[in-house]
Amino acid sequence: MRWSDLLRMSASSLKRRKLRTFLTVLGVVIGTASIVVMISLGLGLQQAMYEQVEQSGGTRSITVTGKQSGGMVYYSYGMSGMETEESDKYITDEAIEELRALEHVESAEPVLNVQGLALKGNYEGYLDIYGMTPQGLANLNLELEPGGTLPDPESPELQLVFGNMVIENFYEKGTGRGYWETGEYPDIDLKNDSIFLILDQDSYYASQNTASMGVSDISGEGGDSSADTPKTAKKYVVNACGIVAGGTEEYNSSSYSVYCDIDRLKESLQKEFRGRAIPGQPTTQSGKPYSKFVYSSATVLADDMNNVEELSQTIRSLGFDAYSNIEYIDSMRSQFAMVQAVLGGIGAVSLLVAAIGIANTMMMSIYERTKEIGVMKVIGCGLGNIRQMFLLEAAFIGFIGGVVGNLLSLILSAVINTLVSGENMGFSGNISYIPVWLVLASLGFAVLVGMAAGYFPALRAMRLSPLAAIRNE
C-alpha cells in the first residue's frame, strides 16, 4: 500500500469522528502549551541573565581586584555584586602592564571607584563614580541616550556619564526627603544642568557644621580660630556628556553608576587632597600617602571565551583575585536547568494525560473498525501497513495539537510579558522567552508522544484474526 493511500485513509478516519478527534487534539494542545509556557519562564530568567552579562562586559570579561587599602572594601562593578577576597598585591600602573603582558589578554584597563557628593540648588545626592580609560568605557558597551557621548579624554574638564536612575539618589538638603520618600523626582535635569561635585566630603561636612555652630563656639573666646577652621572642600563644576539609555523606569547594571575619564578623576583627587592621603588609597605607617596610585580594580578582556578560565587562574597565580562572568554563568546555569526541569515536568503532566486520551481514542477506533481491519487483511494488506496507518493517525493528532499548542503558547507568552514586567522582579527583559528551537522541539515531542500512545493500539490491530474480524458485527 502506498504512503499516499495510508495518509488519505488516516485523515479520512479522523474526519469521520470529528468531535472525538477534536477533544483528543484539545488535550494535546493544552499539554503542549503547558510545557512550552512553563519552560519559557525559565528561559526568560536565563535570557535576562545573559543580557546582564553582556551589559557588564560579556563572557570574555574578567574583574581583577588587588589588596584592600585604607580600611575600604572594594566591590566589583557591574554584574557580580560580590565582595572579593583579600589579595596579595595592589593594583598599580605596573600591575596593569603586567596584566597586559599575559597571554590571551586583549586589553587590561584600570578602574578607580570613588564616592562623590553632588549639589544642585536645594538638592544634594551621593554619586558612585567609576573612573575608567576610554578603552575600558568602550568595553562596557554602554547604550546612551541620543546625543550622548563617552567622556573626552582630551577635555580638561571632568565630564560625567550618568546612569539613567542616578536622579533617584538626590534629596532635599534640609529635610532629607527624595524620590524614595515622596515618589517624585527632584527638579534636576542631569543632561543639561551643571552641578557641583565635591570629592572631599569630610571637609565639606566639617565646614557645614562649623558654619552652623559658629567659629567662636569651636575655638573658644579669644582662641585662634584660624587654626581650628576646617579646610574648605572645593566644588567642581561638572556637566554630563551622556546619560545611559533606558529612562528612569528601566533598570540595568549601570543605572546607578556614574562614569568619567580616569586621568581627569586622578588629577582632581590629587589636587583636592594635595599633601594628604586620598580616601581609599593606602598609606605608610606614618600616615603619609603611598608612593604609587592604587586602583580599585582592573578589567581584563580575554581574546576568546574559551581562554577565560585559564587566564583567571594565571591572574590568581600572580597574587590578584580574579572573577569572570563565565564563572557566574556556570554557577547559574545548573540552577536554571533545575528550574526548567521542574517547570517542564509540571507541564509534562498535561501532555501525559493527553497521551492517555490518544491511546483511548485509538483503541476505540480499533473496536469500531474491526471489520474494516479484517477486510484489509483478507485482501492482502500487509501487517506493517495496518500498523503504519494507525501510527499515522496518532501522529496526525500529535502534530495538529502541537501546532495549535505552540500558537496558543506564543499568545500566552505575549500576555504574560504584557501583564508582568521583568523589572518588577528585579531584572530587565521579558519574563517569558520562547526561542525557535523550543517551538520545533515541542512540536516534535507532541508528534512523538502521539505515536507512542498509538503504538500499542496499532499492535492490537495487527494481531486481530482476519476471520474473527470479518464476523464481528
Which residue, 357, 310, 329, 163, is CA-closest to 248? 163
Can you tell me the distance from the alpha carbon of 350 to that of 362, in angstroms, rounded to the nearest whole number?
19
Q: Quickly tell me which residue has 500487509 as its cell.
A: 382
Q: Which triple of cell numbers denotes residue 266?
A: 586622578
Predicted model pTM: 0.64
* Torsions phi, psi for 67 (to 5 deg): -65, 135
Which residue, 351, 442, 450, is CA-closest to 396? 450
C-beta pairs of 304-312 under 8 Å, 24+ apart in sequence:
304/60, 304/104, 305/59, 305/60, 307/104, 308/59, 308/60, 308/62, 310/104, 311/62, 311/102, 311/103, 311/104, 311/105, 312/62
Q: Which triple of cell numbers denotes residue 2?
A: 502506498
Q: Quickly tell me which residue has 578560565 as its cell.
A: 309
Q: What Cα–Cα distance (Å) separates residue 142 from each residue in 138, 172, 297? A: 7, 30, 19
Q: What Cα–Cα distance (Å) separates residue 78 from each residue in 184, 299, 389? A: 27, 11, 59
Can you tell me the distance from the alpha carbon of 239 to that of 236, in angstroms, rounded to the nearest whole number?
10
Can you tell me the distance from the alpha carbon of 451 to that of 464, in angstroms, rounded to the nearest whole number?
20
- Which are the contacts of 415, defined by CB distance < 8 A and separation ≥ 6? none
Which residue, 249, 260, 79, is CA-closest to 165? 249
Can you tell me the distance from the alpha carbon of 417 to that of 162, in angstroms, rounded to the nearest whole number?
29
SS3 state of residue 472? coil
Q: Which triple of cell numbers denotes residue 437?
A: 528551537
The amino acid at residue 246 is: G
What is the full per-residue pLDDT of the chain (473 aa) written as tens digits?
A: 566 666 666 667 767 778 878 888 888 898 888 888 888 888 888 777 777 776 666 678 889 998 865 434 344 444 344 444 456 689 999 999 999 999 999 999 999 999 999 999 899 999 999 999 999 999 888 889 999 999 999 998 899 999 999 999 999 988 888 888 888 899 899 999 999 999 988 888 887 777 666 544 544 444 444 445 566 778 899 999 999 998 887 888 889 999 999 999 999 998 888 878 888 888 877 777 777 889 999 999 998 878 888 999 999 999 899 888 776 777 777 777 787 778 778 777 877 888 888 887 777 776 666 666 666 666 666 666 677 777 888 888 889 999 999 999 999 999 988 887 655 555 556 788 888 998 998 899 888 888 888 877 777 766 666 655 555 55
Which three-class secondary structure string do you get for 266-323? HHHHHHHCCCCCCCCCCECCCCCECCCCCECEEEEEECCHHHHHHHHHHHHHCCCEEE
Which residue, 21, 13, 31, is CA-closest to 408? 31
Can you tell me the distance from the alpha carbon of 147 to that of 150, in angstroms, rounded to the nearest whole number?
10
Please check whether residue 374 is in contact with residue 469, taking contact to mean a CB–CB distance below 8 angstroms.
yes
Can you tell me the distance from the alpha carbon of 159 to that of 413, in angstroms, rounded to the nearest whole number?
43
Can you tell me the distance from the alpha carbon of 349 to that of 354, in angstroms, rounded to the nearest whole number?
9
The amino acid at residue 35 is: I
pLDDT at residue 451 in the model: 85
Q: Which triple of cell numbers denotes residue 118?
A: 553632588
- Which are the contacts of 399, defined by CB distance < 8 A and separation ≥ 6? 443, 446, 447, 450
